[in-house]
Structure 1
Amino acid sequence: MTTTTSTTVTLADLTRMLRESAGEEEGIDLDGDVLDTPFLELGYDSLALLQVIGEVQRTYGISVPDDAVVDAETPRALLELINSGQGNEA
């Protein structure tokens, strides 16, 4: 089943999925200003991001190419990729 709704994934959605998929590093506040903080500094590697993208695909019906995810080094870059409409055909 393909979802055709235009849903925007927010930073709150992304941080929730990061916590659910890969936990949260001690001493890191994902509720703070993390939009431009590199994922590696937040304690997330490419495997964690791919898990989040899988959740985005299941929950929102948004398909994101795996190779593009690796290039998204910050939450802002990943959200822009997810919400750009690029590859929305799940």
Structure 2
Amino acid sequence: MMTRVRGVERVQPAYATIEGAGVRLHRAFGYEDVPLFDPFLMLDDFRAGTQPEDYLAGFPWHPHRGIETVTYMLEGKIEHGDSMGNAGIVNAGDIQ
């Protein structure tokens, strides 16, 4: 069996942005990058060490229009609710 090694095409650092009703986050890639990362739409990074008030505003109601979202919690926990009234707690190591 032959192993194929691919090189790194580019390094793309995440950039600070504000999303939703004022939530501060870092976006690794977003809307303008879709052709490069299809089928993914965006990848956001919510870092530990930021102030809890950075997240309290949350995200206003918005339809996902068939797009699946994935939350992977590395450390800590978060109470998450969506626009349809579904809610739960995502703990370290969990995927929602």
Q: Same fold (TM over 0.5)?
A: no
The structure in which a higher percent of residues are helix is 1
**Higher RCO (CA-CA < 8 Å; seq separation 6+):** 1
The structure in which a higher percent of residues are strand is 2
TM value normalised by structure 2: 0.25
TM value normalised by structure 1: 0.26
Which has the higher Rg, Structure 1 or Structure 2? 2
